[in-house]
Amino acid sequence: MRNAILEGADELMCRVSNQKIDLFTQLGKFVLPTGYWGKAAANEQRDPHVYMTFDDGPHPATTPYLLELLEQNGMHATFFLIGANCARYPELVRAIHEAGHVIGNHSYNHLPVSFLSAKQLQHELQSTNEIIKEITGTTPTMFRPPFGIMDQRATGCLKDNGLTPVYWSAAPEDWLIPGSHRVIRRVMWKVTDGTLIVLHEGGLLAGQTITAAKEIIYRCKTLGYQFSKVNVSA
């Protein structure tokens, strides 16, 4: 009985979280500048697919394990990297690139773009692109805004740097560290053709992210989904 009550409370908590994020997402689609939110396959013949994306890396507590997991599953993902972390762990950036995954720009210092001066914003975008290019030979074409915050001024600056904003469609609030089973549950409720899943890297989240990624990949595969890299350019 007690377990049933706890389970019910847990489910309710997860539904509230998803509804909150859904509301934020709907609002974002309305007020944020144009960008990519994930979408269904244009070709009806194609198997349904989802996108796995990882933000805030690279990080030694998550990146090597995620790369191993993705390799085991024969799939590719998209990593939105923080410039300062790239400077700290260039070998991890190289490993992501060499494994064939896509690397996007997630700013240099992970600050909300609207709070930066034009000069600071340009530095955040440009220096991250430069360090990724220096390590991998490839310049990112996609930008995921820290905290999901974007504005019109940033759109212009993104364009100048050859970047397109990439948003999300399944964000399980994993940054609040609710535990892997809640992250899995929240994501799986949202999964449909074209879902753009975001999970986060980092030391505090490591166990949760790795466990959740493993189970989400397994469940999506069981449901017949294929995994695609996000590939949009300015």
Helix (H) or strand (E) holding 213: helix 206-222
Choose one: 29-37, 55-63, 132-140, 204-212; the region binding Zn ion (CB under 5 A): 55-63
Annotated catalytic residue 181? no
What does DSSP say about strands 49-57 and 196-200: parallel, antiparallel, or unpaired? parallel
Phi (first) and psi of residue 62, to 5 degrees: -125, -45
Choose one: 52-60, 113-121, 134-142, 177-185; the region binding Zn ion (CB under 5 A): 52-60
Tokens of 194: 């074209």
Annotated catalytic residue 110? no
Q: How far apart are CA 173 and CA 95, in angstroms?
A: 27
Q: How far apart are CA 213 and CA 133, in angstroms?
A: 27
Number of residues that bind Zn ion (CB under 5 A): 3
| Given the residues 55, 59, 101, 106, the one annotated as active site | 55
- The closest of 218, 221, 209, 226 to 79, measured between CA atoms, is 209
CB 53 within 8 A of CB 148: no
| Given the residues 59, 101, 106, 200, the one annotated as active site | 200
Q: Does 124 interact with Zn ion (rule: CB under 5 A)?
A: no
Choose one: 40-48, 56-64, 70-78, 216-224; the region binding Zn ion (CB under 5 A): 56-64
Residue 227: strand pairing partners: 50
With CB atoms as reference, the residue minimizing the distance to Zn ion is 55
Smaller CB distance to Zn ion: residue 146 or 225? Answer: 146
| CB 183, min distance to Zn ion, A | 16
Q: How far apart are CA 92 and CA 63, in angstroms?
A: 7
Q: How far apart are CA 169 and CA 38, in angstroms?
A: 6
| CB 1, min distance to Zn ion, A | 41
* Candidate residues 56, 124, 174, 201; the one interacting with Zn ion per rule CB under 5 A: 56
| CB 146, min distance to Zn ion, A | 5
| 71 C-beta neighbours (distance < 10 Å), count | 12
Smaller CB distance to Zn ion: residue 124 or 225? Answer: 124
* Candidate residues 55, 124, 174, 201; the one interacting with Zn ion per rule CB under 5 A: 55
| CB 74, min distance to Zn ion, A | 27
Smaller CB distance to Zn ion: residue 55 or 124? Answer: 55
Contacts of 63 (CB under 8 A, 6+ apart): 57, 79, 89, 92, 95, 96, 201
Annotated catalytic residues are: 55, 200
Question: Which residues of the shown chain bind Zn ion in the complex (CB under 5 A)?
Answer: 55-56, 146
